[in-house]
Amino acid sequence: MLSAYPHSVPSYLQADQLGAWGNYLQQVDRVTPYLGHLSRWVETLKRPKRILVVDVPIHLDDGSIAHFEGYRVQHNISRGPAKGGVRFHQDVTLPEVMALSAWMSVKNAAVNVPFGGAKGGIRVDPRTLSSSELERLTRRYTSEIGVIIGPTKDIPAPDVNTNEQIMAWMMDTYSVNTGATATGVVTGKPISLGGSLGRREATGRGVFTVGVEAARHLGLDIAQARIAVQGLGNVGGVAAKLFAEAGATVVAVQDHSGSIFCGAGLDIPALLAHVAATGGVRDFPHVDILANEAFWEIPCDILIPAALEQQITIANAGRIRASMIIEGANGPTTPDADDILAERGILVLPDVLANAGGVTVSYFEWVQDFSSFFWDEEEINSRLVQIMKNAFASVWQVAQDKKVSLRTATFIIACQRILHTREVRGLYP
């Protein structure tokens, strides 16, 4: 499989352990025949602009010193400053961060915001750290990557296991180190530090918006739809809430604690409150407990994977009983699984389109920080919905015209925008 792109594997990676980066390379290979004269620039998409690997040493509360490995990858900056989140997770790897940064390039171009793609992470289980240790880790990491981030260079944001508080520490650290308050260096900040209204719910709202648009094309009545959601954080939780408010029935939810099912429909506000109080869905009352693998076999109209990457694989794609999949997470479906789903007639709304609501409102936050003029939530949500609808309409049209999947159609639009900019900028020197 990997031999299809032997020259696209950087020397610092093992060709047989590419993980998510290998999936991304396959996606680029699939879109290349549709790029026309721009295909001569396609290697640009297969090589990150800049990769920084840093040591993150901190004092632990017991007086010992611990070292953690941190990353910041800037995939492409042809269209504007790099933009992408920072995740704290024990399984973070360089190939994963590279892939996530590349998907950010595609995502930003797909919704046509003036950003390139980036991603960052630290290999750490944040549950093992105290609040003070987490703060020291965040501040040290920010100092280490401070040489390449900045409001006009690279703007981090929250991702897995990071939040408004983490962003506040990052903003403060960068500001102290540069000697000036720079609210625009990160997005997803607290409102009091220049954060944007509507940002926390933006990714889930984007998932809901494109889901409604796709359902309309499929003739699916959202008010009659049965929905299964994997992950009940900012993305899955908000999407579940919005679909439930629209009349849909959320029948199954899976998170790190387990999988639950209720044929009559889960009480989403009560479930969200339960998760906030207990940290997981497992002990929610009056539900059936499912084996995690059985979750993928639940009959539903819409399946929303909103957790981590590579959840839908060749092993379970054949068992999925949904009409439509909306990718709330980044990279939840492998290319092989994509093919199986296509053969079975299951419509996939790809991550690079479906979860772009977050970066869209991050763009709004960045603009507001620069202008020091802030919009109300109604205006932000209205602008977000319009951008997502326009992006979906463009992708749907390309998919129909070229008879390709929505993922390939999104890549066609995004990669053409990225490579056209690369072409007109030229190479220096």
Q: Check residue 9 and give its pLDDT.
A: 80
Q: Check residue 1 and give its pLDDT.
A: 41
* CA distance linking residue 287 with residue 121, whole number of Å: 36
CA-CA-CA-CA torsion for 97, 98, 100, 101, nearest 10 degrees? Answer: 110
Residue 428 burial (CB count, 10 A): 4
Q: Check residue 3 and give its pLDDT.
A: 44
- pLDDT tops 90 at residue 4: no
* CA distance linking residue 414 with residue 363, whole number of Å: 17
The predicted model gives 117-123 an average pLDDT of: 98
Q: Is 189 a catalytic residue?
A: no
| pTM, rounded to two decimals | 0.93
Q: Are 56 and 424 spatial neighbours (Cβ–Cβ below 8 Å)? A: no
* CA distance linking residue 74 with residue 293, whole number of Å: 35
- pLDDT tops 80 at residue 326: yes
Q: Are 75 and 116 spatial neighbours (Cβ–Cβ below 8 Å)? A: yes
Report how far Cα 142 is from the mean position of its chain's Cα atoms: 21
Give burial (CB, 10 Å; 0-12/13-18/19+) of 355. Answer: buried
Across the beta sheet with 324-326, what order do the strands follow? 288-290, 258-261, 249-255, 226-230, 302-305, 324-326, 347-349
- Dump pLDDT digits (tens) for 265-310: 999 999 999 999 999 998 999 999 999 999 999 999 999 999 988 8
Q: Check residue 17 and give its pLDDT.
A: 82
Half-sphere exposure of 57 (CA within 13 A, CB side): 3
The packing angle between helices 94-110 and 406-425, to 10°, is 90
Structural domains of the chain, ranges and CATH numbers in brackets: 48-181 (3.40.50.10860), 200-354 (3.40.50.720)
- Dump pLDDT digits (tens) for 130-178: 999 999 999 999 999 999 999 999 999 999 899 999 999 999 999 999 9
Instruction: Return the bridge partners of 119, or none.
Output: 73
What are the distances in angstroms from CA 276 to CA 232, 269, 359?
Answer: 10, 11, 24
Q: Average pLDDT, whole number, for the chain?
A: 95
Q: Which residues contact 312 (CB under 8 A, 6 or more apart)?
A: 296, 305, 320, 325, 332, 333, 334, 337, 341
Catalytic option among 46, 83, 107, 119:
119
Whose CA is closest to 34, among 412, 414, 413, 419? Answer: 412
